[in-house]
Amino acid sequence: MVFILILASSAPAGHRLLQWLNMPFRENEWIWNIIACAGMTLFGLRWFTQWIYAERIKESKVPAIFWWQSLIGALLLLLYALRERNLWFTLMYIFTFIPYWRNLVLMYRQRSIAQAMVHR
């Protein structure tokens, strides 16, 4: 899968073997600029979210919203990179999902364990 994404992101837009990968609304530049802007905004705002959260509780902890912003922002930027068929931009975001998703899984697992302990 990773190889296909790398190949697709670096191939010329008109390559006949990759026409099945055409992104929806590829020709609508403004839609893709909005997607890229939304991804970059979410990705950037997560640091402010974490900072405000830490200030409120007077302790350095990362809230779930930070990881959700990271995950969604990275997804939007990956979509934009694929649309642009930019190899390095695609590689930059292709593996970022792993730590974001893993942190969400660990966080929600810990919460469900804590709730189960309360209900005993």
* Token pair belonging to 5: 């994404």
| Residue 26 neighbours by CB under 8 Å, 6+ apart | 13, 32, 83
- In this structure, the dihedral spanned by the alpha carbons of residues 82, 88, 78 and 69, taken in order and rounded to 10 degrees, is -170
| Residue 81 neighbours by CB under 8 Å, 6+ apart | 9, 89, 90, 92, 93
Picking from 101, 96, 114, the residue whose alpha carbon sits closest to that of residue 64 is 101
The pLDDT assigned to 42 comes to 83
The pLDDT assigned to 51 comes to 82
Model pTM score: 0.63
pLDDT tens track of the chain, all 120 residues?
555 555 555 556 555 655 555 666 767 788 888 888 888 888 788 888 888 888 888 877 888 888 899 899 889 989 888 888 888 788 888 888 888 888 899 989 988 888 888 887
* Token pair belonging to 87: 């190899």
**Gap between the Cα atoms of 77 and 69, Å rounded:** 12
The pLDDT assigned to 95 comes to 82
Question: What does the DSSP assignment read for 3-25?
Answer: HHHHHHHHS-TT-GGGGGGPPTT
